[in-house]
Amino acid sequence: MKSSLFISALLFGTSLTIAHAEPDPHSYAEPDKVSVTALALELGVDFDKQELNGAATLSLDWHDPAARSLVLDTRDLAIESIEAIGADGASRPAAYTLDARDPIFGSALRITVESTVPRVRIRYHSLPQASGLQWMSPAQTASGKQPFMFSQSQAIHARSWVPLQDTPSVRFTYTAHVTAPKALRVVMSADNDARHALDGDYRFVMKQAIPSYLLAIAVGELDVRETGPRTAVYAEPSLVAKAAREFEDTEKMIEAAESLYGPYRWDRYDILVLPASFPFGGMENPRLTFATPTVIAGDKSLVGLIAHELAHSWSGNLVTNANAQHMWLNEGFTTYVENRIVEAVYGKDVATMQLVVDDQELRSEMQGMKPREQLLVTDLAGIDPDEGLSGVPYDKGRWFLRFLESRYGRDVFDPFLRSYFDHFAFQSITTREFLEYYSAHLEAPHCGKVSSAEIDEWLHQPGIPADAPAARSERFDAVDKAAAAFLAGTLAAKDIPAKQWVTYEWLRFINTLPEKPTPAQMKALDKAWHLTGTGNGEIAFRWYVATVRAGYTEARPAIAAFIERIGRRKLIIPIYEELARSEDGKRFAIGVYEKAKGGYHPLTRGSVEKVLGL
């Protein structure tokens, strides 16, 4: 972390030089000596063995002419052989060692070469326990007919299925030749062909340079529907039509983002709807966002998630944090851009309600966090970056940008953000580099709007600054009034004026319930509004947490069904956490988990087992 004196130097023009790129505490790679510029994959998909097998050929740029070692990140990969490939195309075996396995970071693969060869080829296969791959049996899919496999490379799981420099500070282009069982479609974060024959032989090109965490693959029984001139939806056949209707506004979202922040630079924006075991809401894999089916509510009320993943096409995919300690550069900017897209497409009321709910929930989350966990610029050395994710880089990061917007005005701040995305396009940067650009292009031309102490407080101090801009929704005033009357006993549950409420109004209402509502209150709400069993995942998980706190055990069968069916961590971990607070609840949770765990992604299993102490 940097002191306010350092920030002041950045903001007021003191000459600073960056001698070395900031090292990534979550990678063994040494990109200052040699970096990967291109990846060529030859992979076979074996569902029986639950493995990817083949070769990865890495093109290299040697920055240190004296270097003779290439260090790659791996986790649970079986290395079969390695070749060094000369400029003349001739190959010869290369010596290598594989370090002992670290439980978080895996094993460094150290390859020794006789000269600065332009390429190396590694023959290998993944293992069934690869943390970045989920292998699903036919019974775990919608049709029950075909198996399914998908990847999740963020944060440091790409190394579990490809040997590479698994750090966002290194960007590379890639090609892939993938063979799979016929009748299954293979898709990647690359140039997918919606009309490709299901012949089991697929080739891909990704011409834009990406960091490793955006490397993605999925194989399964997938249908496709075009939703616009540069958009399509891939999903299991029983879901694809419904998903296409839900996401039919995607082209409007792209146009809204382009009007604010410049051209979309990834050619196409397609969406892959994964099985419900996907551990996240979405993953911004370029050209092919991975999305959870839990956002398909039937009324477009949860498509803000698509706006978020699309926003990553500017913040994250285009301008990337150099390592996870600067995650707010990815997620804070993206959450800010998401809200601006939602405002442009669905109106200011909806966007403001989103802000109010997220601000409230961030403050609530931070009450249970250590001060160091509340910082935008974090120290994650020795910590699994998956454990470093919280609402802080997302919502506090967005709040910081809203603060800057409030001081400078949108007429100044919007062009600044656009120029920022243009300037750092296809680069990986740190907070330091953002501040240098901010100093030169926003602070200096508009001196006196924001002090160095204020910047330092947002980035390097816990909590939310007292002068943070507050969002207020008049529609929520009516919700709060109804909630207060219901809790006071002066308004019956059936008389709450909620027939026309949208999702955010229900979230606001549930969030205003006391820490421990009474079982009678929950029963009355349930009888009037049928919240138990709702198909809206955002409402459901908040409601189920409230039922556990209230001791409203009538909801338990629906809770069990919900967390057995869904593997999205955001939706189920809070329920497990609340159940685990009592012995009876923990026994119930463990029983449900034993039934559900076979369908969970490895990341979800790890999170649940940590909560339950298993």
Indicate which residues carry an active-site annotation: 309, 394
What is the dihedral angle through the alpha carbons of 371, 376, 381, 384, rounded to the nearest 10 degrees? Answer: 90
* Residue among 20, 119, 24 at smallest CA distance from 70: 119
| Token pair of 507 as six digits | 């979230």
Alpha-carbon span 501 to 494, nearest angstrom: 14
* Residue among 367, 378, 206 at smallest CA distance from 285: 206
* 570 belongs to an annotated ligand binding site: yes
C-alpha gyration radius of the chain: 25
Q: Is 43 helix (H, G, I), strand (E, B) or coil?
A: strand
| Token pair of 568 as six digits | 């999205």
CB 581, CB 600: distance < 8 Å? no
* 585 belongs to an annotated ligand binding site: no
Q: Read off the DSSP letter of residue 474.
A: H
CB 35, CB 70: distance < 8 Å? no
* Residue among 47, 270, 49, 214 at smallest CA distance from 140: 47
* 461 belongs to an annotated ligand binding site: no
CB 344, CB 307: distance < 8 Å? no
* 427 belongs to an annotated ligand binding site: no
Q: Read off the DSSP letter of residue 235.
A: E
CB 566, CB 295: distance < 8 Å? no
* 354 belongs to an annotated ligand binding site: no
* Residue among 288, 305, 29, 320 at smallest CA distance from 166: 29
* 282 belongs to an annotated ligand binding site: yes
Can the peptide bond before residue 155 be classed as cis, meaning omega within 30 degrees of 0?
yes
* 212 belongs to an annotated ligand binding site: no
CA 36 to chain centroid, in Å, comes to 24
Binding residues for Zn(2+): 308, 312, 331
Binding site, by residue number, is: 152-154, 279-284, 308, 312, 331, 568-570
Q: Which residues are annotated as a binding site for a peptide?
A: 152-154, 279-284, 568-570
